[in-house]
Amino acid sequence: MKVFVLNCGSSSLKYQLINMEGETVLAKGLVEKIGEKSSVLKHKALNKEEIKISEKIAAHNKAIKMVLDVLQDEKIGVIKNMDEISAVGHRVVHGGEKFSGSVLINDAVSEALRENIKLAPLHNPANLIGIEVSQKLMPDTPNVGVFDTAFHYSMPEQAFLYAVPYSWYKENGVRRYGFHGTSHKFVSERASELDGRNYEDLKIITCHLGNGASIAAIDKGRVVDTSMGLTPLEGLVMGTRSGDIDPGIIPYIMKERNLSIEDVDEVLNKESGVLGISGVSNDFRDLSEAAEAGSRKSELALEIFCRRVKKYIGSYTAVMGGVDIIVFTAGIGENAVEVREIILSDMEYFGICLDKEKNKCRGEEIKISKEESAVKVYVIPTNEELVIARETKK
Ligand code: AMP
């Protein structure tokens, strides 16, 4: 069975074709700058050179058609025709309260996804376009929606409700939903496998630290808290997003700087985080370089980022009454050696003893805690596409 995994963003799309027998990635790639003059398709098939096609790709339907053509290409293709694709798995960012798990897409589901657009105006419209284009190009192939929010569905009310009028929740859907669910699910399950312990017996904290960053507390296989909220703006400091701030800042700064709601939304999402503090970059490689070259604000941005993660680890340990395993994943979590070291320093009190030598690793699956550490710490590269493919197969 071959599953085509599609992750449509507003101006980009990522894809993989996975053979579920052996879970082999037959081909993968991405299309960037859809709708702009210089769009580009980068495609890599198993055992073949990467190819690049640069031309204007006006819309997602053309992008998906191009990808399907490349997959069937006589020379570099990996399938003979589209009938070989048994199903398409779509990443859908916001499932709202309707979807506690993955779902076979039909008209009613599409309608429900459209209703969720107001909760994720940047993401869900693109995800829906991906679904509609697949339905048109492959009318006989089933489509499955896999939600970023679904894994967090198990959170108790104490975790998902905000202390605002209850009617905001009931009438307007204001609650914590959480994101990056497929990643938190993948790395927490993998950690229990690597550790040789039963998933249902463990208290796990997963730190998904990428350009978007979130952290989750998973007790006996169920998410009991997570840092992102109604939107992916809450929680950790991110590349360009502020994470937690005093909500009182918003009316204050609107008056002080004569800003509109849209202005503030833009600044908090795109001009804040480590970029906002450092004024240098949202990329941790640039920040480390700048800090080494003497940029105090870059150093400060890194310190503030790490301190926030540490605070969440502490609070989730308190909420769960302990922690057995901590996992680091995504671009920063998998690669930024010094970030992991700063976060986990001086945490022996919590039973966390980092092995600084083992921590000097990038992008590999490895235990980085000392043997005597009561809490085991792992770096596990995430694989959201594989989770989507597995869910689609199921
Ligand atoms: P993601 O959103 O998971 O793709 O993560 C992207 C982010 O990971 C980049 O913006 C960088 O900040 C960070 N990153 C990637 N590679 C490295 C590296 N080798 N060292 C430090 N940070 C990295």
Q: What integer pLDDT is reported at residue 58 of this predicted model? A: 92
Shortest-distance Cα residue to atom 23 of ligand 1:
332
Tell whether the torsion through CA atoms of 198, 199, 204 and 210 is positive or negative: positive
Is 297's pLDDT higher than 80? yes
pLDDT band at 124 (very low <50, low <70, confident <90, very high): confident
Task: Note the pLDDT of residue 106.
Answer: 95
The chain-wide mean pLDDT, for the chain, equals: 96
Question: Quick check: 37 pLDDT over 90?
Answer: no
Percent of the chain with pLDDT over 90: 92
Kindly report which listed range (90-99, 182-191, 195-204, 232-241) carries the lowest average pLDDT score. Answer: 90-99
CB 227 within 8 A of CB 239: no
**Torsion angle of C-alpha atoms 308, 206, 224, 114, degrees rounded to 10:** 90
Residues 6 and 134 in one domain: yes
First to last CA, the chain: 11
Q: What's 326's DSSP letter? A: E
Q: Which atom of ligand 1 is nearest to the CA of 283?
A: 12
Closest ligand 1 atom, residue 209 Cα: 3
Ligand 1, residues at Cβ distance < 6 Å = 210-211, 239, 282-285, 330-332, 335-336, 362
Domain membership flag for residue 170:
no
Compute the distance between CA of residue 242 and CA of residue 275 in angstroms, rounded to an integer: 9
In a domain, 298, yes or no: yes
Are 129 and 215 within one domain?
A: no
Provide the residue range defining the domain that includes 76. 2-147
Report whether pLDDT(118) > 90.
no
Give 197 Cα–ligand 1 centroid separation in angstroms.
30
208 CA: nearest ligand 1 atom: 3
Do residue 128 and residue 266 come from a single domain?
no
Residue 157, domain member (yes or no)? no
Q: Tell me the per-residue pLDDT of 54-75, one tens digit each, with 9 for 90 and over.
A: 999 999 999 999 999 999 998 8
Query: Which helix (DSSP H) or strand (DSSP E) does residue 127 occupy?
Result: helix 124-137
Would you say residue 122 has pLDDT above 80?
Answer: no
Residue finishing a domain among 147, 165, 190? 147
Instruction: Report if residue 105 sits inside a domain.
Output: yes
Number of Cα atoms under 13 Å in the Cβ half of residue 66: 25
What are 207-228's pLDDT values in tens digits? 999 999 999 999 999 999 999 9
* One domain for residues 17 and 134: yes
CATH number assigned to the domain comprising residue 254: 3.30.420.40
Q: Is the predicted pLDDT of residue 284 greater than 90, yes or no? A: yes
Same-domain status, 269 and 377: yes
Question: pLDDT per residue over 143-154, tens digit each?
Answer: 999 999 999 999
282 CA distance to ligand 1 middle (Å): 9
Domain end point (choices 120, 147, 174)? 147
Residue 31 Cα to ligand 1 midpoint, Å, equals 19
Q: Are residues 105 and 213 in the same domain?
A: no
**3-class DSSP assignment, residue 96:** coil
Average pLDDT over residues 39-65: 93
If asked whether residues 220 and 366 sit together in one domain, one would say yes
Average pLDDT (268-279) is: 97
Mutate which of 206, 305, 332 for ligand 1? The one with the most ligand atoms within 8 Å of its CB, which is: 332
| 137 and 217 fall within a common domain | no
CA 87 / ligand 1 centre spacing (Å): 31
Pair (251, 118) in one structural domain: no
CA dist., res. 281 & res. 168, Å (int): 36
pTM score: 0.94
Looking at per-residue pLDDT, the higher value among 124 and 223 belongs to 223
Q: DSSP readout, 200-228?
A: GG-EEEEEEESSSEEEEEEETTEEEEES-
- Whether 155 maps to a domain, the answer reads no
Q: How confident is the model at residue 36 (pLDDT cuts 50, 70, 90)?
A: confident
CA-angle at 28, arms to 383 and 107, nearest 5°: 80
Does residue 343 form part of some domain? Answer: yes
For 98, residues 6+ apart whose C-beta sits below 8 A from its C-beta are 112, 116
Which pLDDT value is given to residue 120? 83
Mean pLDDT of 67-88: 94
Q: What is the pLDDT of residues 178-196, one digit of tens each?
A: 999 999 999 999 999 999 9
The reply to whether 232 and 365 lie within a common domain is yes
Domain boundary among 147, 174, 207: 147
Whether 138 and 215 map to the same domain: the answer is no
| Band of residue 121 on the pLDDT scale cut at 50, 70, 90 | confident
Q: Answer yes or no: is 185 within a domain.
A: no
Q: Count how many domains the chain has.
A: 2
Q: Is residue 391 part of a domain?
A: no
115 and 211 in a single domain? The answer is no
Mean predicted confidence (pLDDT) in 226-239: 96
| Amino acid at residue number 96 | G
Q: CA 225, CA 245: separation in Å to the nearest integer?
A: 18
